Structure 1
C-alpha cells in the first residue's frame, strides 16, 4: 500500500508556476423570503406567521416589552425569567418538559432591560401543544415559593461568576459611560438584590408586566399561516389584560468625551470599548454606514482587524458593529489585548478610525464588504430560527419583511463616494467616548500619555 506524503496548506496552494489563483466569487444566492401574514388579536397581541417549509419544524418567538418600573424590577424580572417554566396551576416543571417532549419541543425564557423573550420550537405537527404550554405558563404560572428559592440560589451563583468576568465589567462600564443612569444600563442585577426577591414580588411583576397588548408573537416554519394564527387565537385568547406592555424609553445619545480608565487590579488583559452615535435601520444612509463599518472593523478582512491582529498581533479579535437601541443606534468598537500593548492598541485603533476619514475605502474594499454583507444576510435568513428572530426584531422597530427584501438592492447601490462621505460623519476619532478596563498601575501611564483618557 502506498503512503501519501503529508502536504502543508501552503504546498497545496502552490503549483510549479506559482500560487494557485483563488476562484472568483460566484453570484450571491438569493434567499426567497416568504409572505408574512399579520393579525392583531382582540387582546392586543400582534401575531406574525410565515411559511418556511425547509424542515418539518416551527419556530416561536414571543417578545414582551419589559421596561423596569423601578431598579428593583431588574432583579425581580431576572428571577421571573428563571422560574416562568417551573410550574403552573395544573403542571409542575417535569410535566411541562414532558408535554413539550412529546412534540420534540422546547421553550426558553430570557430577559433584558428592553424585553422578556420566550423562544421555542417544535415539530410543525406539534404547534397546538407548543402554544397550549405557552398559554399555560403565561396565564397560570404559579412561581411556587420553593421553586423561586431554588432558582434564586442558582441565579445568585451564576451572577457572581458573570459579574467577575472582564467582558461583563467592560460592558457595564461602557453602558454607564455612554448612557449614564438610564434603565438600559441595568443589564444584570447584583447578587444582593436577587437575594431579597420574594415569590410574591415575582407574581406581582408577572401580573402587571407579562401582558399581550404591545407584545409580538412570531411563528415561522412548515405551517399554514392562517391556520397557525387561528391556533394562536384559540390558545392565547385567554391571555388578556387592560395594561399595555411597557416599552423602554430612549436613552440619551452618547456624547464625545475622554475615554474612562477603569481600574481592574491584577488584570493581565485590557478591554478597549469605544462608542459613538450611529444610524437606525430607518435611515436611508443605514446601508452605507453598515458597509463603512465593515470596511473599518465589522468582519475578519477589515482594516482594523488586519492591523491589530494580522500585522501587529495585539489581539485574537477586534470587532465593530451597529447596535440598535430604543429610539436610536450606537456604533461599538471593541477588542481585548494584553496589558503591555494596551496603549499601542489604542493608538492603532484611533489611527484606523482616522484613516477611514482621511483615506476613503477603495473599490475593492467596498466590493469585499458588500459581498460579505449580502452573503451573511442570506445565511442568517436561510433557516427558520434566524428568520423568526429577524422578523420579530424588525416588527418591534416598525419594519417588515419588505425591508429585508430590499436590503440586497440597497447594499448593491452604495458607492465609494457615499462610503467616504459617511465615514467622515461617523468615524472621526474625536466623536467617540468609551472605556479602557485594565490594571491602571500597569497601563495607566502610557494610556494617559496618548491623551483623551481620564
Structure 2
C-alpha cells in the first residue's frame, strides 16, 4: 500500500518551452484576411469574423455595440427566429460579441454542416436590416438591464473609473438609459454598411480546418461580398484622463462600498509589459496574492480583491478592484497603499517569486488545451501589432526576472498618490 506524504509539497517542474501552433494565412480578392489553425481529431470548426469598431462618437455612444448585438435579429429574407432555427437545426452555435476594439460574429459548427451554416453568416454580414420591432425590444430590454445594473456599486465604480482613466473615448464613455432613446435604425444601417465590409474583416478558422473547410469559407465569402460604401473610419479619439483623481459616488444606506484604484498604463506592446504582469500577479493577480492574503485572509474586509492590467489597441490601464464593508472602506484603502509601498521598499522573497513564476507559466500552458486556445493566443498578438516573439520574451521574462527588477518596476509605475481612486457606496 502506498503511503501519501501530505507534509511535502509536490516538486515544481520548470517550463522549458511554449510551443504554439502558427496559422496559415490567405487574403481573399475582396480584402478579407483569413488565418487558419488546422488541428484536431473531431469534425468541428470555429470560425470568427472580427471587425474593427468604427470611430467612437460620444454623442451616439451605442452604435458599435447595438449594431453588433442586433446582427442576428433579422435580414430581408429571414427573421431572428428563422436564423436561430436554421442554426439550431444543424447543431451549430452562432454568437455575436462586442469588445472595445473589435466586434465579432462566431460560428461553431460540424464540418459536414458548413455548406448549410456559412450562408446564414454571410446573410447576416451582408443583409442585416435591424427591424423596427426588434430594435424597440432591444432598446426596452437594455434600458431595463442598465437601470438595474446602475443600482450596483461595483458596476457604478467600474464605469466611473473607466471614464476617469479613458475620458470621452470608446473605452471610457458609458451609455445611460436616455441614450437608448436616440438610437435609430437609419444610423445603425449606415454604421453597419461602413463597418461590416470585407476589407475591415479578419477571419480566424480553428479546428479541423483542412482544404475543404478553407475552400468552403473562400467560396462563400469571396463572391458576392463587396465594399458596400466608403470605408469606415476605424481610428479612435485620443485618450485624455480626468484631472480629478478622487471620485466618490455616495449611496445612502449602503452596507458595502465598491473600490476601484488604478492609473493609465502601458499596453501589451511595451517592453515592460511582461515584467509588470509578474509584479501584478504578486500584488493581486491570483488567489495567493498579497492583496488577498492581507485584505481578505488577515483583515477580513472582503470576500475578494484583485488587481489587473487591461491592454487595448489605443490605451491601457492598471487597476485594483474590490467590494468591502462600508465601515472599513478607508482602512481597506490604507492596506492597499501599504502593500504597494512594500513592493517599492522591500525585495520579494525568492520563495514567493518562484511560486508566482510557476503559477504564471503553468497558467499559460494550461490555457493551450486545444487548437482554438492557440488561435486565441494569436489574436492577442495580432491585434496588438506583435509577432510570436512576444511569447518567447514573455516566458523568458517570467523565468528570469529578479526581485531587484520588480522593485525598480514598482517604483517606476506604482505611484499610489497619483492613482485614480473611485468609491461607490459609503466612505
Query: What residue in structure 1 maps to residue 380 of structure 2?
Result: 393
TM-score (norm 2): 0.90
| 5+ long unaligned stretches in structure 1 | 1-12, 444-454
Deviation at 1:369, TM superposition (A): 1.1
Distance 2:44 2:18 in 1: 19
Deviation at 1:320, TM superposition (A): 0.7
The answer (yes or no) to whether the contact 1:113–1:185 under 8 Å persists in 2 is no
Query: What residue in structure 2 maps to residue 235 of structure 1?
Result: 220
Query: What residue in structure 2 maps to residue 197 of structure 1?
Result: 183
- Name whichever of 31-40 and 370-379 sits farther off: 31-40
Deviation at 1:267, TM superposition (A): 1.8
Query: What residue in structure 2 maps to residue 451 of structure 1?
Result: none
Query: What residue in structure 2 maps to residue 207 of structure 1?
Result: 193
Query: What residue in structure 2 maps to residue 430 of structure 1?
Result: 417
Deviation at 1:229, TM superposition (A): 3.8
What SS class does the counterpart of residue 217 from structure 1 fall into? strand
Distance 1:147 1:273 in 2: 36
TM-score (norm 1): 0.85
Distance 2:109 2:309 in 1: 32
What SS class does the counterpart of residue 74 from structure 1 fall into? coil
Query: What residue in structure 2 maps to residue 79 of structure 1?
Result: 66
Deviation at 1:357, TM superposition (A): 0.3
Q: Structure 2 vs 1, CA of residues 223 and 269 (structure 1 numbering), >3 Å: closer, same or farther?
A: same
Q: How does 1:356-375 map to 2 (within 5 A)?
A: 356-375=343-362
Query: What residue in structure 2 maps to residue 106 of structure 1?
Result: 93
| 5+ long unaligned stretches in structure 2 | none
Residue 259 (structure 1) aligned with residue 246 (structure 2):
yes
Q: Structure 2 vs 1, CA of residues 283 and 180 (structure 1 numbering), >3 Å: closer, same or farther?
A: closer
- Name whichever of 240-249 and 204-213 sits farther off: 240-249
What is the number of residues matched between the two proteins?
Answer: 423
Query: What residue in structure 2 maps to residue 10 of structure 1?
Result: none
Deviation at 1:403, TM superposition (A): 3.0
Query: What residue in structure 2 maps to residue 222 of structure 1?
Result: 208
Distance 1:376 1:257 in 2: 37
Query: What residue in structure 1 maps to residue 104 of structure 2?
Result: 117
What SS class does the counterpart of residue 185 from structure 1 fall into? coil
Distance 2:113 2:59 in 1: 38
Distance 1:27 1:368 in 2: 11
Residue 142 (structure 1) aligned with residue 129 (structure 2):
yes
Q: How does 1:261-280 map to 2 (within 5 A)?
A: 261-280=248-267
The answer (yes or no) to whether the contact 2:167–2:241 under 8 Å persists in 1 is no
Deviation at 1:227, TM superposition (A): 4.5
Q: Structure 2 vs 1, CA of residues 371 and 309 (structure 1 numbering), >3 Å: closer, same or farther?
A: same
RMSD between aligned alpha carbons?
2.6
Deviation at 1:262, TM superposition (A): 2.1
The answer (yes or no) to whether the contact 2:165–2:264 under 8 Å persists in 1 is no
